[in-house]
Amino acid sequence: MSITRKWSAKQQRTLEILIRLKRLYPDAKCTLNYETPVQLLVATILSAQCTDERVNQVTPELFRQFPDAPALANADLEVLENLVRSTGFYRNKAKNIQAACQMIVTEFGGQIPKQMELLLKLPGVARKTANVVLAHAYGIYQGVTVDTHVKRLSQRLGLTEHTDPIRIERDLIRLLPQEDWENWSIRLIYHGRAVCQARKPMCDVCVLADLCPSSQE
């Protein structure tokens, strides 16, 4: 019985955190620029260990030359590498983008699949990328996107004790309403950049301080 009460209290605290984040960041949305699900997939792959701002500087020319899956599937790999070079790990990203688009063309009729299990078959696509694409391209919420900000803040807020993104995602799914799964992540990312920074969190100005165990240490 004590475990039930403890879990319920954590869920209520999580919902209060969510309410405050919604007030603080009412217009939270994906900051990657794209026009189609394929372009969102590509931009999300490029965003690994890279800022969205940098990705948005790269994708206009990339999508001008290669606007869809068939074009990317048949692109010269060296040209792709040069176009995405500034995002880091460009050889691996270019290879995965091309391989994913080739699979999209040959196995999915040129369209991004709407099922998590099918998305995860694409080269370069793990749950983080799949969650972003499903949520923002199709309005399908199958999980919580866990990047470095979400991982750090979820731990600091005492919402998970895990370090593995999949286990963190499972904890958050249990605590949050499904319709808020993806925008929760975006709001945590905003808050991680603006206030709860990695090296020096600004607990003295944080609206979540009274709900955060780490601010009281």
> Is residue 4 over pLDDT 50?
no
> Is residue 159 over pLDDT 80?
yes
Number of structural domains the chain divides into: 2
* Residue 83: predicted pLDDT: 98
Listed residues 85, 106, 138: the one ending a domain = 138
> Is residue 25 over pLDDT 90?
yes
Query: Is 147 a residue of the active site?
Result: yes
User: Which of the following is catalytic: 128, 151, 171, 180?
Assistant: 128
Amino acid occupying residue 75: A
How confident is the model over 99-145, as pLDDT tens digits?
A: 999 999 999 999 999 999 999 999 999 999 999 999 999 999 999 99
Q: Can you give the pTM of this predicted structure?
A: 0.90
> Is residue 6 over pLDDT 70?
no
Query: Is 200 a residue of the active site?
Result: no
Residue 194 lies in a domain: yes
Listed residues 138, 155, 185: the one ending a domain = 138
Do 118 and 53 lie in one domain? The reply is: yes
CATH number for the domain spanning 148: value is: 1.10.1670.10
C-alpha 203/C-alpha 105 separation (Å) is 49
189, 151 Cβ separation under 8 angstroms: no
User: Which of the following is catalytic: 6, 22, 147, 164?
Assistant: 147
87, 42 Cβ separation under 8 angstroms: no
Do 190 and 119 lie in one domain? The reply is: no
How confident is the model over 173-216, as pLDDT tens digits?
A: 999 999 999 999 999 999 999 999 999 999 999 999 999 999 88
Do 47 and 101 lie in one domain? The reply is: yes
Q: Other C-beta atoms within 10 Å of 114: how many?
A: 16
Q: 63-71: which pairs have CB atoms within 8 A and are 24 or more residues apart?
A: 63/34, 63/35, 63/39, 67/36, 67/39, 68/36, 68/38, 68/110, 69/38, 69/101, 69/104, 69/105, 69/110, 69/111, 70/101, 70/105, 70/110
Look up the domain containing 55 and give its range: 37-138
Listed residues 104, 138, 172: the one ending a domain = 138
